[in-house]
Amino acid sequence: MNQFEGQPSIRWSLAGINEEGDEVYLIRGISRKLYRCPGCHGEIEIGAEHTIVQYVHRLGGTEHHHWHGRCAEELLVPELRGLKRVPAGESSQGKLEARGRRKSGQRRR
Ligand SMILES: [Zn+2]
């Protein structure tokens, strides 16, 4: 963590690999309903800017969670390897979910 902040923006998402080898994307989002942050168990209010954490599992499949930007930066980002910025347009939830489905097919043995 040096050239950039540990939070995604409108233009940039962040991508890294966690301990299990899953791809983890941090995407800036605006909440459309009330979410509960897994980091602090506090509420993320409707309309609040926050971080969507999208997992693309090594063995296929995806899942996502809604985090406070600050909680994700403090709790999640330090556990990720190879953190890099990726253009937000190439890391939309829809694209990542499609990627999870492809991987699932390719990698199953
Ligand atoms: Zn939080």
Task: Report residue 108's pLDDT band, with 50, 70 and 90 as the boundaries.
Answer: very low
Instruction: Tell me if 51 sits within 8 A of 12, measured CB to CB.
Output: no
Structure tokens given for 11: 């233009």
Q: Which residues surround ligand 1, an ion (CB under 5 A)?
A: 37, 39-40, 42, 68, 71
pLDDT per residue as tens digits for the range 30-85: 999 999 999 999 999 999 999 999 999 999 999 999 999 999 999 999 999 999 99
Residues 6 or more apart whose Cβ sits within 8 Å of residue 4:
12, 14, 85
**Residue 44 Cα to ligand 1 middle (Å):** 8
**Residue 20 Cα to ligand 1 middle (Å):** 23
pLDDT at residue 3 is higher than 80: no
pTM for the whole thing?
0.87
Whether the CA torsion 53, 91, 102, 31 is positive or negative: it is: positive
